């Protein structure tokens, strides 16, 4: 049978006493007698808790019961709305269930809006949505744009590919936003024909019937037209490339034409289908007309494409126009500096670059550009136009031992020039 704690304590006390007695002569009898008395005393002691200890334990139990009842009661009684919203924001435990009436729920929502905390607003909105009828929910939420914005942002974050977001937007009176969401979903398909079908369906159902979305409707119509063209051009050009036809063999396509913007499509058609008939879907002029592109937009892409192919005759044709007398002259809808940069980009021959560089109207800009790219003939001729002999002479070191050296001497010695210095 195990020895009780009190007995052990008594033994320890007895041992201490015995030790102290044994240190004196003739103390062995007294020590034995003291140890026996301590054991008897410990075994006879009452180990029951005292009245004070019992009372203390009972008081603690009563306090715990009261706390439990208080917590249970607080779950079913509404705190002030500000307190509840604060708990939501700070991450403390809270309950929205005590808010039963419409007035209380709306007060709670308004308090959340007042705190400008998105998480609190969404938490209350989801509670309100769960506890009100759909009609009442949409009616009350529509009166609170800040709550609608947070709710919609939440839906878009967690339901990025769902039609339900558009349905919620429509129910909240945001018809235009709902239409744009549906359009976004329609554009997510990577299959060209499927995307075309979905966009057309979306346009006819949600954009065509809305007066406020007329501009968007027209843009989508153009997208449909463009994708239709791409669906006809792409399969044919895949075949042409496999057959090694010009210019697909010399300039293989790096990517599909599907889903490319209209300007990229125009460049593509100028590169691969410049001479196609106007009845052909890929004709660049037809593309320009159908999409109402400007002369500048067309010319820039056509120049870029024909220069890439080193088709200098077509480049000249693009930059040549006739006046009212029918006389041909070099004129461009774009700045000739841009023309020159295109030619430099495709590494055109120096004489071709020089030819069009001379059409840059501002002579100082022309000299600066020619000096930068070492088009010596342009610098020499422009100095002659400016009648600036000293400037021409200062440029002499740049042309020594170059093909332009001879041209420099001819211009310098030309007696027709009336030098100003």
Answer whether residue 23 shows pLDDT above 70.
Answer: no
Q: Return d(Cα 265, Cα 276) in angstroms, integer.
A: 15
Q: Return d(Cα 172, Cα 355) in angstroms, integer.
A: 64
- Give the per-residue pLDDT at 26: 42
Q: How far is CA 300 from the centre of its chain?
A: 30
pLDDT band at 72 (very low <50, low <70, confident <90, very high): low
CB-CB contact of 190 with 199 (8 Å): no
b/e per residue 135-151 (b: at least 16 CB within 10 A): eebbebbeebeebbebb
Average pLDDT on 376-397 reads 96
Integer Rg of the chain from CA? 46
- Give the per-residue pLDDT at 10: 47
Average pLDDT on 2-22 reads 45
- Give the per-residue pLDDT at 1: 43
Could you give phi then psi for residue 320, rounded to 5 degrees? -110, 130
CA distances (Å), origin 167, targets 106, 113, 125, 179: 23, 24, 17, 10
Contacts of 420 (CB under 8 A, 6+ apart): 387, 388, 389
Please return the burial class of 258, using the count of CB atoms within 10 Å of its CB with bins 0-12, 13-18 and 19+: middle
Mean pLDDT lowest for which of 259-263, 379-383, 401-405, 413-417?
413-417
**Total-model pTM:** 0.75
Neighbour tally for 293: CB within 10 Å: 17
Helices (H), 97-249: 102-115, 118-131, 134-142, 145-158, 163-171, 175-186, 192-202, 214-243
Residue pLDDT, tens place only, 44-68: 555 677 888 878 888 888 888 887 7
Q: Return d(Cα 362, Cα 70) in angstroms, integer.
A: 88
- Cα of first residue to Cα of last residue in the chain, in angstroms, is 131
Contacts of 331 (CB under 8 A, 6+ apart): 319, 320, 321
Q: Report, in this order, helix, strand and coil percent for the chain, each rounded to 5.
A: 70, 0, 30
Q: Return d(Cα 199, Cα 222) in angstroms, integer.
A: 11
The structure tokens listed for 259 are 């889903």
pLDDT band at 28 (very low <50, low <70, confident <90, very high): very low
DSSP, collapsed to helix, strand or coil, labels residue 151 as helix
Strands (DSSP E) along 243-345, which ranges?
320-322, 328-330
Residue pLDDT, tens place only, 193-204: 999 999 999 999
What residues does each domain of the chain span? 1-39, 335-421
Neighbour tally for 78: CB within 10 Å: 18
DSSP, collapsed to helix, strand or coil, labels residue 311 as coil
Q: Return d(Cα 241, Cα 48) in angstroms, integer.
A: 102
Q: Return d(Cα 318, Cα 312) in angstroms, integer.
A: 10
């Amino acid at each position: 049978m195990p020895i009780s704690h009190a007995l052990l304590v008594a033994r320890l006390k007895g041992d201490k006493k015995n030790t102290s007695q044994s240190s004196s002569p003739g103390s062995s009898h007294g020590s034995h007698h003291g140890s026996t008395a301590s054991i008897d005393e410990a075994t006879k002691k009452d180990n029951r808790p005292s009245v004070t200890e019992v009372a203390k334990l009972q008081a603690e139990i009563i306090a715990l019961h009261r706390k439990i009842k208080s917590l249970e009661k607080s779950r079913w009684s509404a705190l002030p709305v500000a307190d509840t919203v604060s708990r939501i924001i700070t991450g403390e435990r809270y309950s929205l269930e005590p808010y039963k009436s419409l007035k209380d729920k709306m007060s709670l929502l308004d308090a959340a809006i007042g705190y400008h905390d998105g998480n609190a607003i969404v938490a209350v909105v989801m509670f309100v949505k769960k506890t009100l009828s759909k009609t009442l929910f949409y009616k009350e939420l529509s009166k609170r744009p800040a709550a609608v914005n947070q709710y919609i942002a939440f839906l878009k974050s967690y339901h990025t590919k769902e039609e339900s977001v558009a349905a919620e937007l429509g129910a909240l009176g945001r018809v235009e936003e709902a239409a744009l969401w549906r359009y976004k979903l329609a554009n997510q398909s990577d299959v060209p024909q499927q995307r075309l079908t979905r966009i057309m369906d979306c346009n006819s159902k949600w954009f065509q019937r809305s007066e406020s979305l007329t501009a968007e409707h027209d843009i989508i119509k153009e997208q449909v037209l463009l994708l239709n063209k791409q669906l006809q051009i792409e399969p044919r050009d895949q075949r042409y490339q496999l057959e090694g036809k010009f210019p697909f063999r010399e300039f293989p396509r790096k990517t599909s034409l599907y889903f490319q913007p209209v300007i990229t499509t125009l460049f593509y058609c100028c590169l691969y289908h410049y001479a196609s008939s106007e009845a052909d879907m890929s004709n660049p002029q037809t593309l320009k007309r159908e999409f109402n592109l400007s002369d500048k937009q067309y010319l820039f892409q056509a120049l870029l494409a024909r220069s890439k192919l080193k088709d200098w005759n077509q480049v000249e044709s693009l930059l040549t126009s006739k006046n009212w007398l029918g006389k041909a002259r070099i004129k461009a809808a774009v700045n000739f500096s841009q023309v020159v940069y295109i030619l430099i980009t495709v590494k055109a021959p120096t004489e071709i670059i020089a030819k069009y560089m001379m059409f840059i109207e501002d002579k100082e800009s022309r000299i600066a550009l020619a000096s930068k790219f070492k088009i010596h003939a342009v610098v020499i001729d422009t100095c002659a136009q400016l009648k600036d002999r000293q400037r021409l002479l200062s440029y002499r070191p740049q042309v020594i031992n170059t093909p332009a050296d001879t041209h420099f001497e001819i211009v310098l010695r030309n007696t027709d020039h009336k030098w100003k210095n």
